[in-house]
Amino acid sequence: MFWNKPIETMNRPELAAVQTTRLRDTIDRVYRQVPFFRSRMQAAGLLPEDIASLEDLARLPFTTKQDMRDNYPYGLFAVPLAEIVRIHASSGTTGKPTVVGYTKRDIGIWSEVMARTLTAAGANRQSFIQVAYGYGLFTGGLGVHYGAELVGASVIPVSSGNTARQIMLMKDFGTTLLACTPSYALYIAETLGEMGLEPKDLSLRAGVFGAEPWSERMRKEIEERLAIKAIDIYGLSEIIGPGVASECECQDGLHINEDHFYPEIINPQTGETLPDGEKGELVLTTITKEGMPMIRYRTRDLTVLTHKPCACGRTLVRMGKVLGRSDDMLIIRGVNVFPSQVETVLLGLGETSPYYQLIVDREDNLDKLTVLVEVTESMFSDEVRRLETLEHKIEAALGSVLGVTAQVRLVGPKSIERSEGKAKRVIDNRKL
């Protein structure tokens, strides 16, 4: 099923022409409107007219999350603030969130790409779409919501949490499509069994799952336990949110909506552009966004691209499932967590050593984060309650900065392995 067949099946030369026009327009706009991009281009000795073709894009410098932090909160916006109709944000690495802004037209683009995503998963006007992504600053909930409304489906905006109630609503309202993180989908499947229900008691047919990496094995488990088709979707708030790319019924790679987001794969070490089929870091350029265009944004997600035709008929390029990260970011319950954030919190408290380790486990299909913190002489007390108070203090500080609950466990001095090179900050025991 297609939402926008002419675009989704457009032949490559035609698509390239559309992309070129849009890219040139975008470069022209950011050069005029965003001092950051203008000075970057000037530093590289480039004028907007130097970017005449898609190949010329590689001459432009990359944009990183650090650039967003440096321009917090509105420095990268390309329109007057009065034109901004929505602000979203994701957790930042230093406690400050990464802010993104949308114009009315951007919300329309977002709805369009999400409508394509949902339609590819089988949604239509008759569907009941339960949005169990969080609503709020996180882009997941509202992104799916607007797409579902554009499709004309009936939206059930439950947001995340309260699993037994989610299931009751699913059953009573006749939900046909579920949108949430894949780990939450598994948790829902488990709770369904505990409630004495079976998939046949529900009307569920498909689910669109994203915001965290998941494997084929996990897909199989979700599909079996909920008796649905599980579709992988991809997006990031810096680009637009969910809707950047999504699988079709072939479940063989995610079609990137490249009439809006132009993808490249680079070698994360050298920055050099890599050809189809070679694994590297995904770099995205928005070519239609008004509020906050992004030029060559380094997603840090490792994947491969293929232009091979897909059996579904779409001509849009496909990216493979995300294979990992080129930085040390963790995704815990859909929330981005950097070990450096933990370090900032610990050093900020001024009582703990800079030796720490993050241990991630998956229990009952939910991610669990434990932070090991070495006890120093200065923080050690012979009184249990003082140490427990310290643990709780660190837990509270981590929780508010990371946006996820972390359990702190004090460990002995020098018990965390020292390494001569890069410290081993993370032990990820999750089996995807």
Partner 1 sequence: MIIKQISVFLENKPGTLAEVLSVLDRHNINLRAMSVADTADFGILRLVVNEPDKVEQALKGASLAVKTTPVLAMKVSDKPGGLLAEVKKLTTAGINIEYVYAFAAPAAEEARVVLKVDDLAKAEKVLKGDKAAEGGEGPNFYW
Contact residues for partner 1 (CB under 8 A)? Answer: 375-377, 380-384, 387-388, 391, 409-415
Q: Shortest approach of partner 1 to residue 376 CB, angstroms?
A: 7
Q: Which is nearer to partner 1, 50 or 388 (CB)?
A: 388
Structural contact between residues 337 and 329, judged by C-beta atoms closer than 8 angstroms: yes
Sign of the CA dihedral with 109 first, then 276, 300, and 216 last: positive
Q: Shortest approach of partner 1 to residue 412 CB, angstroms?
A: 5
> Would you give the distance in Å from CA 142 to the centre of its chain?
14
Q: Shortest approach of partner 1 to residue 419 CB, angstroms?
A: 17
Q: Shortest approach of partner 1 to residue 172 CB, angstroms?
A: 41
Q: Shortest approach of partner 1 to residue 428 CB, angstroms?
A: 21
Kindly tell me the burial class for residue 369, based on how many C-beta atoms sit within 10 Å of its own C-beta (0-12, 13-18, 19 or more): buried
Q: Which is nearer to partner 1, 58 or 372 (CB)?
A: 372
Report the interhelical angle of 104-120 vs 139-151 (nearest 10°): 70
Q: Which is nearer to partner 1, 132 or 375 (CB)?
A: 375
Task: Tokens for 335, please give them.
Answer: 């929330």
The rounded distance, in Å, linking the Cα atoms of 239 and 77 is 13
Matching residue, tokens 């965390």: 416
The rounded distance, in Å, linking the Cα atoms of 357 and 128 is 43
Q: Shortest approach of partner 1 to residue 187 CB, angstroms?
A: 25
Q: Shortest approach of partner 1 to residue 331 CB, angstroms?
A: 26
Q: Which is nearer to partner 1, 251 or 370 (CB)?
A: 370
Q: Which is nearer to partner 1, 302 or 387 (CB)?
A: 387
Inter-CA distances, 369 with 140, 155, 208, 372, 416, Å: 22, 32, 25, 10, 17
Which amino acid belongs to residue 15? L
Q: Which is nearer to partner 1, 172 or 383 (CB)?
A: 383
The rounded distance, in Å, linking the Cα atoms of 40 and 325 is 26
Sign of the CA dihedral with 229 first, then 235, 241, and 243 last: negative
Q: How many CB atoms lie within 10 A of CB 314?
A: 20
Q: Which is nearer to partner 1, 251 or 353 (CB)?
A: 353
Q: Name the residue among 217, 153, 145, 151 with its Cα closest to residue 180.
A: 145
> What residues pair up with 387 in beta bridges, in sequence order?
none
Q: Shortest approach of partner 1 to residue 372 CB, angstroms?
A: 10
Q: Which is nearer to partner 1, 14 or 388 (CB)?
A: 388
